[in-house]
């Protein structure tokens, strides 16, 4: 396995005619941790992953693996493993047949096919037609394909989709194990709750733009103070001038890092009446929804 390969996305953009799918996206995915790539449906995740893998030509910017674009990699399957769509396997062929064809073409040792099928729990189903597989089994086959070349980087599009609770539990520990071996693991999902127990870092996009890049734990805002005033704009500017960390919501303001008493005192000092002053514990999911808003597209 080639380890310590970083994924670098710099200024990546893509428009399809009038639709600006991805806008000036920059982030880095590091080895040794699982990174979640999150955003609502239509936010631009698949387009970004397809640009990473050279399947869609960017309108601008670049995506590289250890400094090289996917197309420039000398041994792509041994560098980057990808699972993009669970349904893209020919239904009439077996899992073993599929992986053998790809493996032979890439010069990968024959015994590797059984090894990866065993790793993803498909050992007993290797000779069955893929057409008879459940969605969860096709997801596992996609993962086996991604692992075929023993790559240092894994790019997985919605790998949890279609798995039953047992499968979800399995993939969580499997992804962590792969990262623990020093691999760079990027996993997309439109639901934070689906991946929050598997990921350490998160990159969140909304309407094709980056809205958060950092640790999952830091995203959990802890307790924040919801505050509002008939003069909301005046309150916002007073709180900011007093050094508060303010986020404008649809129905008021949210202040993090200050107590309710502090926020009340700041408003009083500025002579601004309050119509609301409520502490609220923000879970991860809430923080995520605040960030992405209605950030998908129908
Ligand atoms: N080939 C294409 N031609 C035109 N528009 C496209 C094309 N591919 C994607 N889009 C548009 O780009 C935007 C981003 O789509 P994308 O599939 O990347 O989002 P996503 O975050 O992966 O969503 P989902 O979670 O539903 O897969 C959407 O508005 C989509 O309709």
Tell me the pLDDT tens digit for each residue of 213-232. Answer: 999 888 876 788 999 999 99
Sorted by sequence, the CB contacts under 8 Å of residue 213 that are 6+ apart come out as 27, 202, 203, 204
| Six token digits for residue 190 | 């439109």
User: What does the pLDDT average to over 193-203?
Assistant: 90
Look at 107 and 144; give whichever has higher pLDDT. 144
Report which protein residue has its CA nearest ligand 1's atom 30: 42
Q: Is 19 in the pocket of ligand 1 (CB under 6 A)?
A: yes
Euclidean distance between CA atoms 243 and 171, whole angstroms: 43
Euclidean distance between CA atoms 198 and 276, whole angstroms: 37
Sorted by sequence, the CB contacts under 8 Å of residue 257 that are 6+ apart come out as 244, 245
What is residue 281's predicted lDDT score, i.e. its pLDDT?
A: 80
What is residue 245's predicted lDDT score, i.e. its pLDDT?
A: 93
What is residue 288's predicted lDDT score, i.e. its pLDDT?
A: 86
Report which protein residue has its CA nearest ligand 1's atom 4: 16
Q: Is 204 in the pocket of ligand 1 (CB under 6 A)?
A: no
pLDDT range class, residue 297, cuts 50, 70, 90? very low
pLDDT of 246 > 70? The answer is: yes
Tell me the pLDDT tens digit for each residue of 130-176. Answer: 999 988 898 899 999 999 999 999 999 999 887 888 888 899 999 99
Sorted by sequence, the CB contacts under 8 Å of residue 293 that are 6+ apart come out as 206
Sorted by sequence, the CB contacts under 8 Å of residue 92 that are 6+ apart come out as 129, 130, 131
What are the start and end residues of each CATH 3.40.50.300 domain in the chain? 7-216
Tell me the pLDDT tens digit for each residue of 39-67. Answer: 998 999 999 999 999 999 999 999 999 99
- Among residues of the chain, what percentage have pLDDT more than 90? 68
Q: Is 85 in the pocket of ligand 1 (CB under 6 A)?
A: no
Euclidean distance between CA atoms 156 and 47, whole angstroms: 13
Other CB atoms within 10 A of residue 57 CB: 8
Report which protein residue has its CA nearest ligand 1's atom 2: 16
Other CB atoms within 10 A of residue 126 CB: 19
**Mean model confidence pLDDT for the chain:** 91
Report which protein residue has its CA nearest ligand 1's atom 25: 41
pLDDT of 116 > 80? The answer is: yes
Q: Are 81 and 244 in contact (CB under 8 A)?
A: no
Task: Give the CATH number of domain 221-282.
Answer: 3.30.70.980
What is residue 294's predicted lDDT score, i.e. its pLDDT?
A: 60
List the one residue out of 117, 7, 118 whose CA is nearest residue 62.
7
pLDDT of 295 > 80? The answer is: no
Q: How wide is the angle at C-alpha 199 spanned by C-alphas 197 and 204, nearest 5°?
A: 115
Tell me the pLDDT tens digit for each residue of 87-99. Answer: 678 889 999 999 9
pLDDT of 296 > 60? The answer is: no
Pocket of ligand 1, candidates 42, 51, 52: which has the most ligand atoms within 8 Å of its Cβ, to mutate? Answer: 42
| Six token digits for residue 260 | 């309710």
User: 147 in helix, strand or coil?
Assistant: helix
pLDDT of 291 > 90? The answer is: no
pLDDT range class, residue 5, cuts 50, 70, 90? very high
User: What does the pLDDT average to over 5-14?
Assistant: 97
What is residue 87's predicted lDDT score, i.e. its pLDDT?
A: 61
pLDDT of 85 > 80? The answer is: no
- Among residues of the chain, what percentage have pLDDT more than 70? 96
Tell the CATH superfamily of the 7-216 domain.
P-loop containing nucleotide triphosphate hydrolases (3.40.50.300)
Ligand 1 atom with the smallest distance to the CA of 56 is: 1
What is residue 226's predicted lDDT score, i.e. its pLDDT?
A: 95
pLDDT range class, residue 298, cuts 50, 70, 90? very low
What are the start and end residues of each CATH 3.30.70.980 domain in the chain? 221-282
| Burial letters 93-116, b for 16+ CB under 10 A, else e | ebbbbbbbeebeeeebeeebbeeb
Report which protein residue has its CA nearest ligand 1's atom 28: 42
Altogether, the residues listed in the chain come to a count of: 298
SS3 content of the chain, % helix, strand, coil (to 5): 35, 30, 35
Q: Which residue has the tokens 């760079």?
A: 184
Ligand 1 midpoint to CA 263 (Å): 41
């Amino acid at each position: 396995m080639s380890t310590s390969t970083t994924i670098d996305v710099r200024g990546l953009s893509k428009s399809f005619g009038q639709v600006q799918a991805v806008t000036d996206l920059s982030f880095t995915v590091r080895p040794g941790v699982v990174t979640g790539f999150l955003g609502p449906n239509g936010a631009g995740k698949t387009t970004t992953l397809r640009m990473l893998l050279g399947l869609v030509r960017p309108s601008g910017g670049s995506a590289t693996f250890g400094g090289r674009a996917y197309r420039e990699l000398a041994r792509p399957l041994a560098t980057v493993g990808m699972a993009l769509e669970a349904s893209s396997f020919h239904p009439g062929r077996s899992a073993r047949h599929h992986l053998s064809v790809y493996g032979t073409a890439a010069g990968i040792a024959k015994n590797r096919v059984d090894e990866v099928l065993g790793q993803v729990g498909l050992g007993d189903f290797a000779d069955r037609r893929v057409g008879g597989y459940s969605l969860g089994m096709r997801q596992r086959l996609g993962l086996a394909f991604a692992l075929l070349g023993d790559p240092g980087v894994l790019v997985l599009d919605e790998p949890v989709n279609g798995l039953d609770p047992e499968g979800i539990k399995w993939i969580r520990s499997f992804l962590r194990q792969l990262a623990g071996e020093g691999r760079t693991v990027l996993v997309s999902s439109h639901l934070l709750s689906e991946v929050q127990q598997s990921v350490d870092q998160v990159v969140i996009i909304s309407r094709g733009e980056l809205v958060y890049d950092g640790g999952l734990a830091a995203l959990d805002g802890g307790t924040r103070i919801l505050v509002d005033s008939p003069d909301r704009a005046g309150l916002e500017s007073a709180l900011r001038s007093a050094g508060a960390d303010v986020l404008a919501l649809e129905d008021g303001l949210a202040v993090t890092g200050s107590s309710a008493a502090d926020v009340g005192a700041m408003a009083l000092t500025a002579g601004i009446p309050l119509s609301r002053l409520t502490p609220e514990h923000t879970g991860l999911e809430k923080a995520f929804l605040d960030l992405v808003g209605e950030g998908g597209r129908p």
